[in-house]
Structures are given as C-alpha cells and as structure tokens.
Structure 1
C-alpha cells in the first residue's frame, strides 16, 4: 500500500507540473481569465494533495484501515476534484461544456476534506504513540 501511495503521489505531482505548464503556456490564449483561474486551482490542489499523499505514505505504516482510507481519499479526491475542473474548463473552451462534471468537483472536494480529517486523526495517534506523556 505504501509503495502505491508513493507512486501515485509522484505521478500526481509530475502531472501537476505538466498541467501547470500546459495551462500557463499552451492554453493561455485559448482560456478566458476565469477559465485560467479555475484550471490553476485544479493544478494547485493536485500538487498539494500529491505532496500530502507522499507525506502520508512516509508517515503511516498502513496497518490501520483508516490510514488506507486516508490515502484513497486523497487519490480519489484529486481525481474527482482536479480532473473534473480540467474537463470542465477544457470542454468549455471549445464550446462543448461537459456539465455532468459540475457536481463531481464538490464531491471531490468533500472526499479531500475527509482525507485531511483522517490524516489529522491518524498522525495525532502516531504522535501520541511515539511521544507518550
């Protein structure tokens, strides 16, 4: 499990750099200012969650189900949140907005929030275990 989360974190991080460069250069003339801001939000959140996924993979032994769920929340949350934004922006830029992606974005955000709550609980439990007072 640990290796999977490290690999996905690395892939998400690398893709966020590629998508960020793509958005800043190749799409700059095709996207409106609002579309570009939305695209950048997707890239930014993807990078944040690539990093926290890598941190979780280093910190957690993944013996607890809640630790595994934390990692999956970050993976699925990014997929739903960031990638739905990319789909919405790109489809809108060619005049064929995929409106069905609209409800997927907040669902992805909710899953990311759940991941952060579980991460916080799990990292606190590890800290207490390693540093009993």
Structure 2
C-alpha cells in the first residue's frame, strides 16, 4: 500500500514542481526581487530532488516494503511540504517568519535520507544472508 501512495505523491509532486518552476521562470520574472527569486528557485530544486528520492522509495517499496522505507517516504513528503512550501510562501508573500518553518522541513529531509540509508543496510544484510 505505501508504495502506490508514494508513487502517486511523487507523480503529483513532480507535476507541481514543473508547474511551479515554469511559473517562477516565466510568471515571476521581473516581479520578485532577485533574492526572493533565488529563494523560490531553491524551493523548486529541493522539491525536484526529493520527488526523485520519493520515486526511488516507491520503487524499492514495491520489492521490499518495510518500516524504514515508509519513514523515508513520509519524511520526504513532509520535507517537500514544509521546506519547499515555506520557501514558496516566503518568496511570494515576503512574510519572513515562514523562514522558521524551513529548517523543520530540512530536518524531515535528513530523517528521510537516514531512513533510506537504514533500509539499504537492511536490504544488503538480507541479500548477503540469502547467499
């Protein structure tokens, strides 16, 4: 079940990232100060990176579902919402307190990568035991 959910989230996140990237490149050019444009683009980049990570989690979960992969998938999802979402809102609204949310999203990304690493170690041990 989580594999199909993560695949759907990754697909939707990729769609949204492309749309927001295009909107930023074409619709916001000239409207945002260069600093805020950089903030916006950082949100798009990190959303793309972690959308791809979420896609990897979904594919791995099809083969070897497990708790660590679920933690990774939900952490990447939360990180996309909090990290990238707060940067989009900060850039578009200029509301600087939103910058306090961004590190929480970054922490979620770190948890996701750690959980993915743990899952890789578990899978490696399982494959070695099978030999």
Name whichever structure is richer in helix by fraction: 2
Cα drift, residue 63 of structure 1: 4.1
| Poorly superposed stretches of 4+, deviation over 4 Å | none
Equivalent residue, structure 1, for 2:27? 26
Report if aligned partners of 2:79, 2:105 keep a CA contact under 8 Å in 1. Answer: yes
Separation of aligned partners in 2, 1:26 and 1:124: 44
Equivalent residue, structure 2, for 1:89? 91
Say which of 80, 104, 118 aligns to 1:121: 118
Separation of aligned partners in 2, 1:12 and 1:103: 23
The TM-score, its normalising length taken from structure 2, stands at: 0.90
Equivalent residue, structure 2, for 1:101? 98
Say which of 62, 66, 69 aligns to 2:68: 66
Report if aligned partners of 2:80, 2:105 keep a CA contact under 8 Å in 1. Answer: yes
Equivalent residue, structure 1, for 2:14? 13
Which sections of structure 2, spanning at least 5 residues, go unmatched?
A: none
Report if aligned partners of 2:39, 2:91 keep a CA contact under 8 Å in 1. Answer: yes
The TM-score, its normalising length taken from structure 1, stands at: 0.89
Separation of aligned partners in 1, 2:68 and 2:44: 27
TM-superposition CA deviations, 1:68-116 (whole Å, max 9, x none): 1111000011100000100011001xxxx2x442211000001101100
Moved more, 61-70 or 122-131: 61-70
Separation of aligned partners in 2, 1:78 and 1:69: 14
Number of corresponding residues: 128
